[in-house]
Structure formats: C-alpha cells, structure tokens
Structure 1
Amino acid sequence: MPDTPFTSHRDGNALAGPLSQIFAVDPTTAWRRCPDCGLTGSLAQLHVFGPEPGLTGRCPGCAAVALRLVEQPGHLWLQMGGGAGAFRFPRL
C-alpha cells in the first residue's frame, strides 16, 4: 500500500446507498480496472474517504481517484476518475 495522507477509510460498500439512487443494480458488484496501476476488482473494494465535501473512492492499490460522489439537495453529482467533468442526477 503506498503512503498516502489518508488515515482512515471505509470500503466501497459505503457508496451503495447514494449510488442506488442512480443505478438499478447493486453498484458495489461492478467490476473496475484502475487506469493508473491496472489493479482489477469490484467497486466494493475501493477505499472510500469522506464525507466532506463528498465521498471519494480511491484505488486500494495506488490511491488514484476512481470516483467522487457529492450529494446536494435535489441533486447527486458523480465524477468518474480524477478527470474533468461530472454527471448531475436529480435526486428521487
């Protein structure tokens, strides 16, 4: 595990509740491959940090950002990876 400034995290199951507002299937079972280190695994294996300003899921192998999830009144923002751009979904 690389040295990171993050001291405590939850596993990717912490993303299940908020992501269930977007996806009809259980998102924690989704398979992913890290574009930085190549590690493969499920979303549930991510290291999740938060809650402010939202939840950030990081690769357990290299700590690269896999996704960011920010909940606001009426909206849910989802950014995949560390790149630019985000999706805004209406909250149900």
Structure 2
Amino acid sequence: MDETMLDGNAVAGLLGEVFAGDMTTAIGRCAQCGAREPMGSAHAFPGAGMVLRCAHCDHALVTIVRAEARAWIGFPGAVTMEVSVGPS
C-alpha cells in the first residue's frame, strides 16, 4: 500500500465544495462528440429518473435516480465536469 494514500473521507470537504454550487453552470464535456457546454443546456429526459443528454449529439451525459432521501448519480458520458469553487 502507498503510504501517501488516504481513504475517501479525506475529500469530504472538497466534495461538499464541488457539489454544493449550481451544477447547471458546470461545464460538461461529452465523451462522444467532445462538446463543452453548461449542464443547463443539456436535454433532460424524465423516466424512472432523469437522463441528461448532450445537446449536440444526444449522448447520455448524466443519469440521476432519486428515491426518498437518496439519489444515485452516474456520469456515463461526461468526460469532465468543470465547476467554479472558492479560492484554494
């Protein structure tokens, strides 16, 4: 085991900072066509959950399923998500 490795709890503050903001302004990059757009411009399709699809090529970027007090979020087609955070 690498002595510099920490468990996932070490990033609790960073995760809270990244996911606390307005994610519709986060810039997602599509794995299919490479388009970079704010997530608010993605096409949303409701069903058992929500699927956000690329506005350029219709590739599934993000899936969100919510049940009671839990949510499952997948990023099957978003290569990156760029968000604004406070100073480091």
TM-score by length of 2: 0.63
More helix by share: 2
| Aligned partner of 1:63 among 58, 70, 75 | 58
Q: Which has the higher contact order (CA 8 A, sep 6+)?
A: 2
**One-letter amino acid of the counterpart of residue 61, structure 1:** H
Alignment of 1:1-80 (within 5 A): 23-50=19-46, 52-80=47-75
Aligned alpha-carbon RMSD (Å): 1.5
**1:49 counterpart SS class:** strand
**Alignment length (residue pairs):** 60
**For each residue in 1:25-44, what CA deviation from the matched residue of structure 2 results, as whole angstroms up to 9, or x when unmatched?**
11011011111111111000
Higher alpha-carbon deviation: 22-31 or 63-72: 22-31
Consecutive aligned runs of 4 or more in structure 1 exceeding 3 Å deviation: none
Structure whose alpha-carbon radius of gyration is higher: 2
**Identity within the alignment, %:** 32
**For each residue in 1:50-77, what CA deviation from the matched residue of structure 2 results, as whole angstroms up to 9, or x when unmatched?**
0x20000000111100000001022101
TM-score by length of 1: 0.61
Unaligned runs of 5+ residues in structure 1 are 1-21, 83-92
